[in-house]
């Protein structure tokens, strides 16, 4: 259940930044996007949410592997084609991390290069 709580906090944070949540847990074969949001400029943002209550096994950002990024990219491309009908729209991938308690822990946004 903590994953859902982390995603809810992330969605609220992104909403406070002026984004509109278009989809949650968008699943495709072999991949998933936790949140799909749209900025006021119209750009789509595909967000992976990671939460780590304790740093005993590394922080939340360290849990994002190259394989996970590749799966995110595939899911984002699928979303663009299926939901928007094209794959040349302005968009980007990012990771939102929460380190510490889900409701009060440090929150950070990391662009995916």
Ranges in the chain, pLDDT < 70? 1-2
Find the helix or strand (DSSP H, E) in which 49 lies: strand 44-52
Look up the pTM and report it. Answer: 0.93
Domains in the chain, CATH or no CATH each: 2-111 (3.40.1350.10)
Question: What pLDDT is stored for residue 2 in this prediction?
Answer: 67
Question: What pLDDT is stored for residue 1 in this prediction?
Answer: 52
Structure token digits, residue 9: 């906090």
């Amino acid at each position: 259940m903590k994953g859902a709580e982390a995603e809810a906090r992330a969605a609220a944070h992104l909403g406070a930044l002026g984004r509109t949540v278009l989809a949650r847990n968008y699943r495709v074969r072999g991949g998933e996007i936790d949140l799909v949001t749209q900025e006021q400029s119209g750009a789509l943002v595909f967000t992976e949410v990671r939460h780590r209550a304790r740093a005993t096994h590394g922080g939340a950002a360290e849990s994002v592997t190259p394989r996970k990024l590749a799966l995110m990219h595939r899911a984002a491309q699928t979303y663009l084609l299926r939901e928007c009908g094209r794959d040349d729209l302005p968009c980007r991938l990012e990771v939102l991390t929460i380190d510490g308690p889900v409701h009060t822990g440090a929150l950070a946004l990391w662009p995916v290069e």
